[in-house]
Amino acid sequence: MGRLEKLRELMRTKKIDYIILGPGSNMFYLTGFIEEQMERPLFFVIDNWNAYFLAPKLYEEQLSKFNFPVIAYNDDENPYKKLNIEKGKVIALDDTLWSLFTIDIINYFLPSQLIKASEILKELRIIKNDDEIEIMKKGVEIAEKSFLDTISQIKIGLTERKIAKILVDEFINNGADGVSFEPIVTSGPNTSMPHLRSTNREIRDGDIIIFDFGVKYKGYSTDTTRVVSVGKPSEEVNKIYEIVKEAQQKAEEAVKEGIMACDIDKIARQTISSYGYGEYFIHRTGHGIGIDVHEEPYIAPNYKRKLEKNMVFTVEPGIYLPGKFGIRIEDMVYVNKKGIVINNLKKDEIFVI
């Protein structure tokens, strides 16, 4: 059964009359079309019988290659009058659709109920097929080679931003379509802030550097984190690294079909807490990954869902000592009876340059 047929089954079960998607990951998942949102409506509409694009005339030829009907409109036309949508029905709307479109849809069609499209799309997207996993495996290969190519170019005095730029350039050189998110390359005390973006801080002898990076490849995302040391790392850095490594490995080893996602988080958290650093593990253990870099399932304390075959997610515990440094190790894992780690980059010890 194809994706649209499965989606329509869910629509009937949940008594949804229409789904309206804007440019983004859900539209790509169902159609293969990638585009950014703009100020004019560009929608993919699904009901129990039809699935079609509504788009400005300038997209008509481009969209004709995607095997769905295209309803095109000119700039002097009201696009909403061209939508085959009855008023007063239940509409599932793309979560990330701009508010200007959401307001127009509400005002024009007066839906009896408006719900988030993710509530049904997530049930399809949370389980990857083998082709999707193979694409992500290739993306990880590109990302890892790019990381190794980048750290070979690091010199004292380069800024975090300059290193991040080198990394992005290597992504493209090695065949990526782009980045799945802006790389996090932080150094020294900046590493204690998990989502700090790269700054103009210059690399110094003795620094540790966190690389949190991912590529886009054929529409799918990757996400990996490794730790680099400029020169021999200190005893304290090595100690914290070993604790995080143990937590990460125990969590990965526990992955299997049927275990609760929250229990994977619990294993990592308890390991770090047993060494007295529980308060310094300040985020969830992982997140699902696919078209979006963050999607379901979430490896988090309150995410009470069993892991199923072909779910793909990260395992990335960390310890962050404010004003000093932070350590995080991250792999991508998929479920096939047990957890299969996609990454091949070493993690038995810190990369030393």
Whether residue 214 is found in the same domain as residue 235: yes
For the chain, give the mean pLDDT.
97
Whether residue 23 is found in the same domain as residue 39: yes
Query: Which helix (H) or strand (E) element contains residue 112?
Result: none
Whether residue 93 is found in the same domain as residue 158: no
Q: How far apart are CA 176 and CA 132, in angstroms?
A: 16
Which domain CATH number covers 247?
3.90.230.10
Report the pLDDT averaged over residues 47-75: 96
Report the pLDDT averaged over residues 47-69: 96
| Last residue in a domain, options 99, 125, 151 | 125
The CA-CA-CA angle for residues 19, 119, 31, to 5°, reads 45
Q: What predicted TM-score, i.e. pTM, was given to this entire model?
A: 0.94
Q: How far apart are CA 257 and CA 272, in angstroms?
A: 24
Whether residue 98 is found in the same domain as residue 153: no
pLDDT one-digit tens code per residue, 106-117: 999 999 999 999
- Res. 1: pLDDT tops 90: no
Count of residues making up the chain: 353
Confidence (pLDDT) at 173: 98
| Last residue in a domain, options 125, 158, 174 | 125
CA dihedral 294, 295, 298, 302 (to 10 degrees): 110
Residues 6 or more apart from 165 whose CB is under 8 A from it? none
Q: Which amino acid is at 142?
A: I
Whether residue 152 is found in the same domain as residue 196: yes
Whether residue 43 is found in the same domain as residue 85: yes
Which domain CATH number covers 65?
3.40.350.10
pLDDT band with cut points at 50, 70 and 90 for residue 336: very high
pLDDT one-digit tens code per residue, 264-296: 999 999 999 999 999 999 999 999 999 999 999
Q: How many domains does the chain have?
A: 2
Tally: H helices and E strands in the chain:
9, 20
Whether residue 294 is found in the same domain as residue 342: yes
Whether residue 121 is found in the same domain as residue 216: no
- Specify the range with the lowest mean pLDDT, choosing from 16-20, 216-220, 336-340: 336-340
pLDDT one-digit tens code per residue, 239-256: 999 999 999 999 999 999
Give percent of the chain with pLDDT exceeding 70: 100
Whether residue 167 is found in the same domain as residue 256: yes
Whether residue 196 is found in the same domain as residue 107: no
Whether residue 268 is found in the same domain as residue 336: yes
Give the range of the structural domain holding residue 9, as residue numbers without chain letter.
3-125
Whether residue 15 is found in the same domain as residue 145: no
Report the pLDDT averaged over residues 46-56: 96
Q: How far apart are CA 298 and CA 20, in angstroms?
A: 25
Confidence (pLDDT) at 343: 97
pLDDT one-digit tens code per residue, 124-150: 999 999 999 999 999 999 999 999 999
| Last residue in a domain, options 125, 154, 169 | 125
Confidence (pLDDT) at 143: 98
Asked if 166 and 148 count as a contact pair (C-beta separation under 8 A), the reply is no
